[in-house]
Amino acid sequence: MMDTKHISINDYDYPLPDERIAKFPLKQRDHSKLLIYNKGAVSEDIFYNLPSHLHSGALMVFNNTRVIQARLHFRKETGALIEVFLMEPAEPADYERMFQSTGHCSWLTMVGNLKKWKGGDLQREVNVKGQSIILTATLDQSRTTLKSGGTNYWVDFKWNNDKVNFAEILDAVGELPIPPYLNRKTEESDKTTYQTVYSKIKGSVAAPTAGLHFTEKVLHDLDAMGIIRDEVTLHVGAGTFKPVKTEEIAGHNMHAEYIVVHRHTFEHLLEHECRAIAVGTTSVRTLESLYYIGVKIEQNADASEADLHVNQWEPYDLPHNDEGLVLVNGQPVTVEKSIRNILQYLENNNLEALHTSTQIIIAPGYEYKIVKVLVTNFHQPKSTLLLLVSAFLHGDWRKVYDYALSHDFRFLSYGDSCLLMP
């Protein structure tokens, strides 16, 4: 097996001129181009024809997370502009409870222009439903901790109206965090175009962009084709934009991302021999993490949900057999056994859904367990997402990217799509 940790990120570089990065989406999102990789052969089509390329009866899994307006701007009396970028709920730590908070809450954040925030509170006036509210932000250095992938600053928020929740405040003054590589300011249109049509659960700071091409018509056509649709939730962190800056990927830290998977998804997986079509790399990270979560339960049926967190290098450090299955007490844990373990865990703990987190990095050397077909966009050079695609295509990623570069495909978040069937 390849020593994944020693992969050189420079081997995953390609020329991406700025003019090939789509700054805005197409007016009709399902009119994007679709590159098709089928067992080594490359062709193209239009995205709205995607259903015709899939097998009837297959299971397709979407990430239903919704992007929040995570950037908050405050101006100090000195005139200095401070940006507070919400990364992860701290108190309450649960996303749903966080957005319903009234009066106060705390987040782990990134802070832009931190040097100018020399203690003291930041304040701004917010108009919510015709009411003027004062929002106050306080940096708590004592609770700021080094988190995986960087420093997250603990910021306490307070506001002087208990009838207004934090979700309403964000809707009123927060700015949608479009990717930095678009090199432009957020526009009003992004509030719609940078969300999938099936987004439901607030919490991401970046969109699961492979889903941006889907329209209600495409979803209807999938249903008509007999494709079974299911949804998971992975709240995409800012780490998805974080370039790999170390020569070897061993030095790169993945951010933890929170996942929620309901009982029906595990049942669907068992009905489909634990094989799925993943829409986007976030769905991949969620589905592939499930196998390792089931392995943890095999090792300890009484583990807490926090104990089920999948660490970055776990898939590589655990003992595996030649088929890529983890050995527990010398016996391989099949994918089916792993999924059944999670279902039993939910049953034992009277849970409708699994709530945990993952830092999984998928790179060449990784053996896919559940995802057999992938719908995704074109990713940045030297990114962990490109590593994920390379692992999926058994190293054949350049064929896909060379074709896309030479056939006028648009790249990155608002760019075109590809269907990968190795």
pLDDT at 269 over 70: yes
Distance, in Å, from the CA atom of 381 to the CA atom of 13, rounded to the nearest integer, reads 5
Tell me the domain boundaries of the chain: 4-66+191-421, 70-175
- Classify domain 4-66+191-421 at the CATH class level: alpha beta
Q: Residue with structure tokens 């193209």?
A: 44
pLDDT-derived band of residue 3, with 50, 70 and 90 as boundaries? Answer: confident
pTM: 0.93
The three state secondary structure string of 20-81 is: HECCCCCCCHHHCEEEEEECCEEEEEEHHHHHHHCCCCCEEEEECEEECCCEEEEECCCCCE
CB 288 within 8 A of CB 360: yes
Cβ-defined contacts of 117-125 (< 8 Å, 24+): 117/76, 117/80, 117/82, 122/74, 122/76, 122/82, 122/84, 123/74, 124/73, 124/74, 124/75, 124/173
pLDDT at 1 over 60: no
State percent of the chain over pLDDT 90: 86
Distance, in Å, from the CA atom of 385 to the CA atom of 382, rounded to the nearest integer, reads 8
CA count, 13 A, side-chain hemisphere, 320: 19
pLDDT-derived band of residue 74, with 50, 70 and 90 as boundaries? Answer: very high
Which H or E element spans position 339? helix 335-348
Task: Note the pLDDT tens digit of each residue in 322-379.
Answer: 999 999 999 999 999 999 999 999 999 999 999 999 999 999 999 999 999 999 999 9
If phi over 0 gives left and psi between -120 and 50 gives alpha, with beta otherwise, what is residue 202? beta
From the list 102, 97, 55, 355, the residue with the least C-alpha distance to 202 is: 97
| Average pLDDT of the chain, as a whole number | 94
